[in-house]
């Protein structure tokens, strides 16, 4: 299994631009999570999906953030418009039903907004 | 409120020395408990987990952790640290009958002196 795949690994964009982060979960996993990691706030859960349906988006910081999961093998996190304070590492993770193995994390996308 | 505390932000040990990283949680029932490790520029890798049963759990890379209900703790240990163990370690806790929302501690950064 290739694990959770995130793209791009690094993204540098100018303030005001739209940014789209992508995630492919492990095949067969029915939960998908988006986390943001910063020095100041640590790891924060932004949103999670179950069977492609958003279950809890209470961690999404603002309306500028949106996430979708159109099918079981793909999810996006979009920021529009981006701001410098959005600079962080964004992680996607997935787990299966029951989740006895915990979450599996992707390698993350390091976003820099200048 | 549910919370996870890792009291030590930085720890430095000598190679070959023993290691204990602390984790405490606040919750009225037994949570699901995890330890993850993050190497620089990488995602989080699961070291070990506790759901129920034997309170001493073994993980990968020679790590173990002990759940102590009376102390609300889940400390991570390793008898002899290797230079390659230098990384950041996160304790994570799932509450409320499942762990759809893992809450992470702030992390402990481990440095290993030769």
**Which tens digit of pLDDT belongs to each residue from A46-95?**
999 999 999 999 999 889 999 999 999 999 999 999 999 999 999 999 98
pLDDT greater at residue A9 or residue B53 = A9
Q: Which residue of B has its CA nearest to A55?
A: B100
Chain A contact for B5, CB < 8 A? no
| In the predicted structure, residue A106 carries a pLDDT above the cut 80 | yes
Q: Show Cβ contacts of residue B53 under 8 Å, excluding neighbours closer than 6 positions.
A: none
Q: Which residue of B has its CA nearest to A59?
A: B101
Phi and psi, residue A77, nearest 5°: -120, 120
Gap between the Cα atoms of B99 and A25, Å rounded: 18
The single-letter DSSP state of residue B69 is G
Gap between the Cα atoms of A13 and A62, Å rounded: 19
Gap between the Cα atoms of B22 and B3, Å rounded: 14
Contacts of B104 in chain A (CB under 8 A): 42-43
For residue A102, what pLDDT band results from cuts at 50, 70 and 90? confident
For residue A7, what pLDDT band results from cuts at 50, 70 and 90? very high
> Distance, in angstroms, between A42 CA and closest chain B CA?
6
Contacts of A102 in chain B (CB under 8 A): 34, 46, 49
Contacts of A45 in chain B (CB under 8 A): 101-103
Q: What is residue B94's predicted lDDT score, i.e. its pLDDT?
A: 83
């Amino acid at each position: 299994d290739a694990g959770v795949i995130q793209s791009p690994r690094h993204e540098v964009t100018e303030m005001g631009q739209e940014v789209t982060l992508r995630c492919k979960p492990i095949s067969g996993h029915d939960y998908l999570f988006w986390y943001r990691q910063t020095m100041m706030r640590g790891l924060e859960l932004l949103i999670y999906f179950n069977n492609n349906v958003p279950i809890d988006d209470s961690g999404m910081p603002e309306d500028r953030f949106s996430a979708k999961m159109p099918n079981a093998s793909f999810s996006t996190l979009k920021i529009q418009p981006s701001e410098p304070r959005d600079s962080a590492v964004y992680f996607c993770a997935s787990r299966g039903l029951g989740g006895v193995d915990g979450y599996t994390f992707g390698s993350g996308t390091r976003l820099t907004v200048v | 409120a549910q919370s996870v505390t890792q009291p030590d932000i930085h720890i430095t040990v000598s190679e070959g020395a023993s290691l204990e990283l602390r984790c405490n949680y606040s919750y009225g029932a037994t949570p699901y408990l995890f330890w993850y490790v993050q190497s620089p520029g990488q995602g989080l890798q699961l070291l070990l987990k506790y759901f129920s049963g034997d309170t001493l759990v073994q993980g990968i890379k020679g790590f173990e952790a002990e759940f102590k209900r009376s102390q609300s703790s889940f400390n991570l240990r390793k008898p002899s640290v290797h230079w390659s163990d230098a990384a950041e370690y996160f304790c994570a806790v799932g509450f409320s009958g499942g762990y759809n929302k893992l809450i992470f501690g702030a992390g402990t950064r481990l440095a290993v002196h030769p």
